[in-house]
Amino acid sequence: MTFNTALHQLQQSEDIAIITHVQPDGDAIGSCLALADILERAGKKKVTLYCQDKVPALLEFLHGHQKFKNSLEDGQQFDLSIAVDCSDENRMGTCFAVFKAGKKSMNIDHHVSNTFYADTNLVDIKAAATGEIIYRIGKELTDNLGKHSAEALYTAISTDTGSFCFRNTTAQSYRIASELIEIGIDIERVTTLLYKTNRLERIRLLAKALSSLELFENNKIAVITITQRDLTSTGAMESEMENMVNYAKNIVGVEIGILLKEADDSTSKISLRSKGRIDVSLLAGQFGGGGHQAAAGASLPMDVEQARKEVLAAARKMLGAGTQ
């Protein structure tokens, strides 16, 4: 029902704004670019894309990535403003102003935490990515999705499912990917750009991170430590540390993977990962942080040596409690 209401709303509108969330990811950018392409193919007079933050360099291979604006012109209005992949209004950051400038509003999203903040709320929590919902819209509004949309939607779904590996991946995710490939995607090129491209600085940092690896409690706890000196000497960016904790977690026998980051002399950050048995959100909670059972984090007001001691002690206690 909502789907048909949304289609009707799209059909009725000619001047459309599309807004996605701050710190946009592959699903945000891919879904927006595909939706814009679909609406243009469907003959809309004007479609404008908005995002508070820049498109990540990683996604600059997507056609149309340079079309995003980050602010509204004075007095500008739209027939329809569509928030894409935003669970609530705050996710739009400063571009919430664009959302408010729509005579009507729509919310297309897949997050379970969505707050239904628009006139029309097309929220499907079974979709692994917002890109899956956009795909369904595309099938209704155009006869031919086209290669640009196919590549954008593949990117959206692939990045939100960890390249079709995470638990949220469904038969539908693979089926849509199959149909997108039929439209025409150079799958090796796209996946190489998304997953197999590393800056030299990141590899230099990874070498240091892995060299710091320590194991405790019969290899059940693995700790990687990254200092400020590691960051400056390699030239790597903070964001490039992101997945390194998984090298600790993915070791055979490890139950808790810990990445310890020196923020400055008196602040440390921890990223925690669990293979499943231990709930690391409880561990993070002991230090004022939070997250999920399998992935959590916290910021500690102490130097990295002290943080290491305290987190290790707490992790050891949890392991002991977990095995009773």
Judged by beta carbon, residue 95 or residue 157, the one nearer a second copy is 157
- What is the C-alpha to C-alpha distance for residues 131 and 30, in angstroms, rounded to an integer? 7
Angle at 109 between CA 53 and CA 118, to 5 degrees: 90
Taking the least distance from each CB to a second copy, the nearer of 253 and 288 is 253
Taking the least distance from each CB to a second copy, the nearer of 116 and 174 is 174
CB of 168 to a second copy, least distance (A): 9
Candidates 204, 157, 195; CA nearest to 178 is 157
Quick one: tokens of 285? 């909670």
| Contact in structure between 246 and 162 (CB atoms under 8 Å) | no
Closest distance between a second copy and the C-beta of residue 18, in Å? Answer: 27
Between 210 and 321, CB nearer to a second copy: 210
Q: Which is nearer to a second copy, 90 or 163 (CB)?
A: 163
Q: Which residues bind a second copy (CB under 8 A)?
A: 163-167, 169-175, 177-179, 181-182, 187-188, 191-192, 195-200, 203-204, 206-207, 210-211, 213, 215, 219, 246-247, 250-253
- Which residue lies nearer to a second copy by CB, 183 or 263? 183
Beta strands, E only, 33-182:
46-50, 78-84, 102-109, 120-123
Least gap, CB of 230 to a second copy (angstroms): 13
Retrieve residue 137's tokens. 């819209």
CB of 138 to a second copy, least distance (A): 17
User: Closest distance between a second copy and the C-beta of residue 250, in Å?
Assistant: 5
Residue 242 CB neighbours (<10 A):
12
d(CA 61, CA 295): 30
The minimum distance between CB 69 and a second copy, in angstroms, equals 28
CB 27 within 8 A of CB 57: no
Dig out the tokens for 69 from the structure: 């604006």
Q: Residue 141 in 3-state DSSP?
A: helix
